[in-house]
Amino acid sequence: MTAGYDTLIVTFSDPIKVLDNMFSDADAWGTDTLKGWVEDYESTRFTQINEHTAVITSEYNMPCVKEWLTHCTTIADMREF
């Protein structure tokens, strides 16, 4: 049996580099980037494809990832596959 992965393509309103600034206190967050925060969710990967867009895949944590992104970042577009 193969695991199914959910996929999101997220285009952020702000550049990902700017969003990384929210993690300036790495000791508090446990990471210093948005990629690091997303990938702290088990089985979840963050692949930046341009300045504003990333592909996020997750085996079973996508509902939590989506909720966090929606509440803590500025999103221009989010597409689920």
Take residue 49 and report the two structure tokens written for it.
């494809």
Is 1 part of any domain?
no
- Tally of domains within the chain: 1
pTM: 0.90
Q: Provide the pLDDT confidence category of residue 3 given band limits of 50, 70 and 90.
A: low
Residue 22's CB is within 10 A of a number of other CB atoms, namely 14
Q: What is the CATH number of the domain that holds 55?
A: 3.30.70
Write out pLDDT tens, residues 51-61.
Answer: 999 999 999 99
Q: How many helices (H) and strands (E) does the chain have?
A: 4, 4
Q: What is the mean pLDDT of residues 10-18?
A: 98
Average per-residue pLDDT in the chain? Answer: 93
Q: Looking at the domain assignment, is residue 73 inside a domain? A: yes
Give me the domain span that covers residue 76. 6-80
